[in-house]
């Protein structure tokens, strides 16, 4: 079991390392966002599984941390992608209307 745990941890560390290289080497924010979320999530999962396999007790906190990573990494990637998209000056169409912009411009908001 110790050999399998060590192999999982080593493979996970390689994934995290390659993700770091990808963040430095990729040309645009979307590719970097992909590198910063996909590979480290898999790497952390493998490291967590290796750690849980090596522990005799107390596996629940490790698996909970892995699950938390699987929930938060896509949310963080979505927010980074959304911020990058908005920073490029591309307007996002809102179907319900933007009442705040209408108030700032002095026009009546859509009702």
Does the reported pTM lie above 0.85? no
In this model, does residue 35 exceed pLDDT 60?
Answer: yes
> Average pLDDT for residues 95-105, to the nearest whole number?
58
Q: What's the pLDDT band for 86 if we cut at 50, 70, 90?
A: confident
DSSP state of 109: P
| C-alpha dihedral, 82 to 83 to 89 to 91, nearest 10° | 40
């Amino acid at each position: 079991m110790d050999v399998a745990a060590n192999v999982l941890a080593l493979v996970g560390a390689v994934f995290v390392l390659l993700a770091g290289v990808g963040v430095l080497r990729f040309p645009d924010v979307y590719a970097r966002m992909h590198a910063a979320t996909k590979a480290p999530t898999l790497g952390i999962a493998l490291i967590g599984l290796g750690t849980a396999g090596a522990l005799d007790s107390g596996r629940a906190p490790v698996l909970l941390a892995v699950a938390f990573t699987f929930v938060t990494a896509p949310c963080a990637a979505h927010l980074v992608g959304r911020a990058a998209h908005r920073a490029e000056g591309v307007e996002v169409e809102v179907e319900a209307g933007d009442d705040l912009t209408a108030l700032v411009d002095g026009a009546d908001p859509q009702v």
